[in-house]
Amino acid sequence: MRKAAVRITETPTPPTRGVKAAPGNLLLQTGMRLIQEEGHVPAIAAVAARAAVSRATAYRYFPNRGTLITAIVDSSLGPVRTYRSELADGRERLHELFAKTFPRFKEFEPQMRAAAQLTLEQWALERAGLLEEEPYRRGHRVRILQQAMEPLAPRLRPAVRDRLHHALSVVYGIEPYIVLKDIWGLSDREVERVALWMADALVDAALREAQPAAKEPRRRAANGSGRATPRAEGRSRPRSDERPLPASRR
């Protein structure tokens, strides 16, 4: 399968034990709380100030907002990032993946929305030539969905397989929450149901394309006799306007 066109922002790996691990964990938790309160990814300096950590220390752990939100999302999604299913059926794998992921989207919705917001903000700044930090690039869903789709891949042509992968990446993520809750006012449970319904519909469409084209049935005579009507290019009976006139009318 194709890989994502952009290089995603990798999760920083600060120390996990000892004295050096404490500032990193404190900054991470502080960043999560600030997003919960303010609804956007804060500047690293703001996180440092709230955590009572020096800016120099904060920037060593998180050089920019992209690395901070990457660590926050990684911490929020937890086992989803390392998801590997043993199910043999591709549709069942997708159902299992959605069942594991969407409750965490619900729990950490402010953090997921903040990540999407940051990409939009930086896209606009980058387009205007005003971006002054390393851009945050999302894309972990590409690998996660690829693993879930593995049983389906042999049944699909490469072009169809890639199209399904692309389409599922629109359905699987925080984006359905943004559309279905903000515009339609749906509940979390309804969002999950609609997203899974869309995923099933996409799989069905891809599998239909994988089926051999059915031969067109021969047309039957309009009088219900069951005999096939002759083809236009090889008619065995002349049309009424092509039949020879009777001798009396010649």
User: What is residue 214's predicted lDDT score, i.e. its pLDDT?
Assistant: 47
Name the 3-class secondary structure at 220: strand
CA atoms 82, 83, 86, 90: torsion sign: negative
Calpha distance 134→249 (Å, rounded): 92
In which residue are the tokens 């692309």 written?
Answer: 166
Eight-class DSSP state of 196: H
User: What is residue 20's predicted lDDT score, i.e. its pLDDT?
Assistant: 74
Q: In 122-225, where do the E strands start and end? A: none
Calpha distance 144→146 (Å, rounded): 5
User: What is residue 82's predicted lDDT score, i.e. its pLDDT?
Assistant: 84
User: What is residue 167's predicted lDDT score, i.e. its pLDDT?
Assistant: 98
Q: In the chain, where do the E strands start and end? A: none
Q: Which two structure tokens, joined as six digits, stand for 109?
A: 């919705």
User: What is residue 81's predicted lDDT score, i.e. its pLDDT?
Assistant: 85
Calpha distance 113→14 (Å, rounded): 24
User: What is residue 65's predicted lDDT score, i.e. its pLDDT?
Assistant: 97
The enclosing H or E element of 51 equals helix 44-51
User: What is residue 78's predicted lDDT score, i.e. its pLDDT?
Assistant: 84
Calpha distance 163→167 (Å, rounded): 6
pLDDT in tens, the chain (250 residues): 555 566 888 877 765 555 678 999 999 999 999 999 999 999 999 999 999 999 999 999 999 999 999 999 999 998 888 888 999 999 999 999 999 999 999 999 999 999 999 999 999 999 999 999 999 999 999 999 999 999 999 999 999 999 999 999 999 999 999 999 999 999 999 999 999 999 999 999 999 998 875 444 555 544 555 554 444 444 445 544 445 555 544 4
User: What is residue 218's predicted lDDT score, i.e. its pLDDT?
Assistant: 52
User: What is residue 17's predicted lDDT score, i.e. its pLDDT?
Assistant: 56
Does the reported pTM lie above 0.75?
yes
